[in-house]
Amino acid sequence: MKRRLPFEILHEDRDVIVVDKPCGLLTTHTKVAGRIARETQQTVENFLNVHLRKGQAKSRLRVWLVHRLDRETSGVMMFAKSEEVAEKFRSDWNRLTEKTYVAVVEGCMDGDSGVFESWLKEDRDGYRVRSVAPGAPGAKQARTEWRKLGMIGGDTVVEVALKSGRKNQIRVHFSEAGHPVAGDVKYGAHRAARLFLHSLRLSFIHPRTGGRLSFEAPLPPGFSPQAPRGLPSGGDCGIIRA
């Protein structure tokens, strides 16, 4: 019997799989000991491996991680179906892809648009990321562009374009600007129903055809019940606990 996936596949071909990841589901395994533990943890990666193998226990088919979404971030993301394709994307990610997010951030953002630029570095334990002096050892340059879409109560709805793909980049930049993503307790926000960050759109140059493809994951119900006109809505945001 075919196992039903807890998310929608937006596109699949011989090279890539694009999915709409629900909030609450890990992209890939956490630091668990042993192969069996890693392969049985509830992750998008493992669900897709089962999907590709179609019940064949000896199958070596698998997906390859190209980028990540944080556990509580929802929306569109992509996996490669070979190491070669994965490496093509990893080695030239900023040129080959464009990513657009929607976020609700605490407070009223000044202006209609803006840019955050800094050098980001993970703490030693890898839990938090912060901006450091330009060129600091281990730091990576990051650029986040945003524009205001509207307000929900006293909070701001923003569209965010990533010009680099750093860990927690959006969350850190808005937090350091005094407007953490709603629900992002890790970076100073008040508790909320979820982390209000959604990967809305992903476009990329296909590694085989050279054509540009674009995919969109509509905002889940409850993400922004009073969202400004023009924001897409639909889908599901069921929390899945590993």
Please give the pLDDT value at position 10: 97
- CA angle (124 as vertex; 127, 136 as ends), nearest 5: 110
Interval 79-106 mean pLDDT? 94
Query: Among all chains, which residue has been given the structure tokens 């524009």?
Result: 147
Cβ-proximal residues to 57 (8 Å cutoff; 6+ apart), any chain:
none
Query: Among all chains, which residue has been given the structure tokens 């879409």?
Result: 149
Please give the pLDDT value at position 25: 95
Q: pLDDT for 22-73, tens place per residue?
A: 999 999 987 766 676 667 789 999 999 999 998 787 888 999 999 999 999 9
Say yes or no to pLDDT of 169 above 70.
yes
Interval 216-232 mean pLDDT? 65
Q: Model confidence at 225, in pLDDT bands (50, 70, 90)?
A: very low
Nearest partner of 82 among 57, 111, 112, 52, judged by Cα: 52
Interval 77-94 mean pLDDT? 94
Instruction: Show the domains of the chain with their CATH numbers.
Output: 8-216 (3.30.2350.10)
Interval 124-149 mean pLDDT? 92
The model's pTM is 0.87
Q: Which helix (H) or strand (E) holds 17?
A: strand 16-21
Nearest partner of 159 among 118, 219, 107, judged by Cα: 219
Tell me if residue 70 is catalytic. Answer: yes
Share of the chain above pLDDT 90, in %: 71
Please give the pLDDT value at position 33: 61
Longest C-alpha distance within the chain, in Å? 57
Residue 170 φ then ψ, to 5°: -65, -45
Q: Which helix (H) or strand (E) holds 130?
A: strand 129-132
Structure tokens at 38: 């890693």
Say yes or no to pLDDT of 242 above 60.
no
The rounded distance, in Å, linking the Cα atoms of 205 and 89 is 9
Please give the pLDDT value at position 237: 35
Cβ-proximal residues to 8 (8 Å cutoff; 6+ apart), any chain:
19, 20, 235
The one catalytic residue among 70, 123, 155, 184: 70
